[in-house]
């Protein structure tokens, strides 16, 4: 428990127990007392959990023995060092399988969801004949939090004897997922999206009806020949522990995050006009909130909110200045797409952090709008869509 206390002290919270009944305790006063970045300035609040999540202290506890004392290669079959690591690896495989209702023999450890996606899609495409096909769908969208009707899609694919793959990186551990009930043939999982370590993930590969994949790389034939290379035991253990904790706390986390999300949305929309919530408001994961603030440039708002770590969209495409292709695909006007901010609420987000974020957001949206000639024209009753703009 010494490690737990140290981590909790850094965070300013009490250490959560293995089976937590009361949830995380409030952290330090928002905007005050946060851990320094080394230069004396406090680090920003973290509200970007769709990009990555902090490592749960319970997960770190489970990993530490395999980073120090139990360092054997899990594929060494001739001595105790290997047996210990193999047992830990297989236990982690079972923990991942239990979370999604799978058989542990259907879980392949990978470096993350990107590799899992490539294994599932590229090799299937190479093996297909002209009369075969593959459907691949993201379970929960990482920009707007919309949930796809995975069960219905799975039924249709199975009826047409089409393989069905889903990238569930944003869904696993947050909403119930059952690969058999949903007729999923292949599923990609990422550790760092569920409060586990970076650099590890898993690919679910159905055994019956059998899905056959060709390996992306050759080598020692580990992971039933699908993914050669030594499985990193500490990372696999961390992924397994993250899945077990998520299974234990999914309902509690979901209820708590839903209340915090509703608090953020209600407070912002009650104080700021012309705010649009992007995506379906019913079929969505509540911890991913994407709002467009009309007449405000999203990048300007992000810069103003420098003491809160937020995003204007996917971390995978954050280097691009183009408007989100997800927002454009659902019919969002380009101006609104450019004004969007993604708020990510997670397991360790506190009510105080939500209130601080809301306060700063309202303050800076109002300030930026006062500087905007477009906002002034709207206040004067001018319909911007009726104006014919000329380029110079």
Residues serving a catalytic function are: 316
Sheet architecture: strand order including 288-293: 275-277, 288-293, 340-344
Distances, alpha carbon 133 to alpha carbons 106, 160, 195, 357, in Å? 22, 10, 34, 45
Residue 26 and residue 350: Cα distance in Å, rounded? 6
Residue 126 and residue 135: Cα distance in Å, rounded? 14
Distances, alpha carbon 193 to alpha carbons 38, 112, 200, 260, 365, in Å? 26, 10, 10, 19, 29
* Count of other CB atoms within 10 angstroms of residue 191: 33
Q: How far apart are the first and last CA of the chain?
A: 66
Q: Which of 48, 42, 32, 51 is nearest to 356 (CA)?
A: 32
Exposed (0-12), middle (13-18) or buried (19+): which is 98, by Cβ within 10 Å? middle
Q: Which of 178, 241, 109, 5 is nearest to 166 (CA)?
A: 178
Q: Which residue has the tokens 């477009």?
A: 374
């Amino acid at each position: 428990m010494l490690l737990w206390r140290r981590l909790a002290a850094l965070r300013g919270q009490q250490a959560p127990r293995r089976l937590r009944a009361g949830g995380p305790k409030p952290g330090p006063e928002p905007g005050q007392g946060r851990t320094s970045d080394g230069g004396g300035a406090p680090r920003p609040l973290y509200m970007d959990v769709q990009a990555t999540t902090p490592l749960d202290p319970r997960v770190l506890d489970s990993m530490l023995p395999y980073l120090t004392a139990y360092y054997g290669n899990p594929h060494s079959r001739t001595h105790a060092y290997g047996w210990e690591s193999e047992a830990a690896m297989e236990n982690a495989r079972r923990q991942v399988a239990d979370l999604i209702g799978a058989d542990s023999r259907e879980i392949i450890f990978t470096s993350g969801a990107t590799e899992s996606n490539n294994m599932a899609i590229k090799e299937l495409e190479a093996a297909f004949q002209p009369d075969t096909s593959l459907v691949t769908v993201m379970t929960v969208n990482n920009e707007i939090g919309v949930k796809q009707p995975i069960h219905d899609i799975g039924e249709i694919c199975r009826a047409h004897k089409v393989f069905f793959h889903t990238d569930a990186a944003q869904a696993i551990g947050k909403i119930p997922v059952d690969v058999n009930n949903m007729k999923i043939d292949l599923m990609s999982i990422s550790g760092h999206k569920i409060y586990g370590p970076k650099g590890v993930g898993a690919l679910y590969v159905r055994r019956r009806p059998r899905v056959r994949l060709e390996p992306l790389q050759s080598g020692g034939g580990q992971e039933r020949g699908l993914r050669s290379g030594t499985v990193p035991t500490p990372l696999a253990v961390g992924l397994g522990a993250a899945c077990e904790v998520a299974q234990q706390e999914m309902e509690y986390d979901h209820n708590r995050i839903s209340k915090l999300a509703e608090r953020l949305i209600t407070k912002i929309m009650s104080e700021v006009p012309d705010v649009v919530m992007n995506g379906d408001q019913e079929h969505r994961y509540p911890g991913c909130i994407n709002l467009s603030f009309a007449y405000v440039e999203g990048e300007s708002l992000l810069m103003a909110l420098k003491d809160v770590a937020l995003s204007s969209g996917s971390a995978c495409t954050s280097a691009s200045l183009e408007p989100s292709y997800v927002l454009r695909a659902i019919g969002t006007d380009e101006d609104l797409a450019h004004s969007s901010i993604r708020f990510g609420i997670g397991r360790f987000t506190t009510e105080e952090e939500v209130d601080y974020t809301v306060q700063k957001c309202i303050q800076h949206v109002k300030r930026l709008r006062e500087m905007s000639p477009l906002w002034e024209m709207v206040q004067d009753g001018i319909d911007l869509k009726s104006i014919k703009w000329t380029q110079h």
